Amino acid sequence: MQTLTVDLGDRSYPITIGTGVLRQEFIAPYIRSKQVMLVTNETVAPLYRNTVYEALQGFQVDEVVLPDGEAYKDLTHLNLIFDQLLHKRHNRTTTLIALGGGVVGDMTGFAAACYQRGVNFIQIPTTLLSQVDSSVGGKTGVNHPAGKNMIGAFHQPVAVLADTQVLNTLPDVELSAGIAEVIKYGLIYDENFFAWLESNMQALRQRDPNAIAYAIYRSCEIKAEMVRLDERESGVRALLNLGHTFGHAIETHAGYGQWLHGQAVAAGTMMAADLSCRMGWITAADVVRIEQLFKAADLPVKPPSDMTPDRFSELMSIDKKVMDGKLRLVLMQRIGQAIVTDQFDQAALMQTLQGQS
């Protein structure tokens, strides 16, 4: 059992990582009153809902079971949470619990940010991607047909409980999607962690408990530090979006849910690596290392073949990092160091979008 703290002053909260954390002694201390609204989805509910119910004996537990998938991360399905909160007469001392992956966590957090102008919520992430990334940092929201995560709020949880045992039921493709975000941390912040991933990728994919636990801990440690320094993403926290501008464009183009988020991030990160190389910041050998690691994780390294440069440009133009009409991208200066910049060569970007060698 390991615990990290996201240090945000009086809004600080713990990230508890380990096996068997879905128990009352870990959950109950973060619940304000007897009212609890459990939000989960159709896939996770049959697996872990009863475990959480057992941990919440003595509380009034109501629930919302959402359909599973990125395609349902929208305002229509968000309203199902508000409907149940109102129907069951939850007040502003209620606590929402997000039991699921990134979609459930983002929607529950956004509902908590909005309901009666803000109530507490607990993150219980059940995918590797949500354990290492989306459950930490308070980014919440839903998608719009024109752009991913364009409607939302910053609203920090009161606790994150990452039970590594739940990953045993995670499909291999979902595990790989989570590894994409783990690789990101090495690329933007820690070259030694990147090298560790090169040496331990097989162990991660085979779900070795020690490898999984270390990957989650180090990823959360890096993210917690960036959130501490820049909670609302006005500076260093934007580095966490490496590959995401390209990746979100891929997700929007393909239709939400057709590409898993981690798959799109992997392909998008390769595009960021390609552009970084064209800018002379990383070497061709670095690009090969990055590509080999994504391939070892069984992740795509190319965007959809039907995405044109014009389509990329159209979708990237509404990215949240656009400022004063200028597109900003997260690029690598070396493995382990990244930068957010609008100072990139437009011709080089076009070559990247065209996939030219």
Relative orientation angle of helices 191-205 and 209-229, to the nearest 10 degrees: 140
218 is catalytic: no
25 is catalytic: no
Query: Where does residue 195 fall: left (phi above 0), alpha (psi -120 to 50 degrees), or beta otherwise?
Result: alpha
**Where would I find the H helices in 150-279?**
172-189, 191-205, 209-229, 244-254, 261-278
244 is catalytic: yes
Give dist(CA 248, CA 19) in Å, integer. 32
Residue 148, SS3 per DSSP: strand
144 is catalytic: no
Catalytic residue among 120, 148, 149, 181: 181
Catalytic residue among 87, 117, 168, 210: 117
Residue 266, SS3 per DSSP: helix
Side chain identity at residue 138, one-letter code: G
Catalytic residue among 231, 233, 251, 291: 233
Catalytic residue among 184, 244, 253, 328: 244
Catalytic residue among 90, 139, 155, 184: 139
174 is catalytic: no
Query: Can you tell me which residue has the tokens 């994150």?
Result: 160
Catalytic residue among 90, 155, 261, 328: 261
Catalytic residue among 223, 253, 278, 328: 223
117 is catalytic: yes
73 is catalytic: no
155 is catalytic: no
List the beta bridge partners of residue 41: 66
**157, 109 contact by CB (below 8 A):** yes
**306, 255 contact by CB (below 8 A):** no
223 is catalytic: yes
Catalytic residue among 237, 253, 278, 328: 237
Catalytic residue among 184, 248, 278, 328: 248
248 is catalytic: yes
Residues with catalytic roles: 117, 139, 181, 223, 233, 237, 241, 244, 248, 261
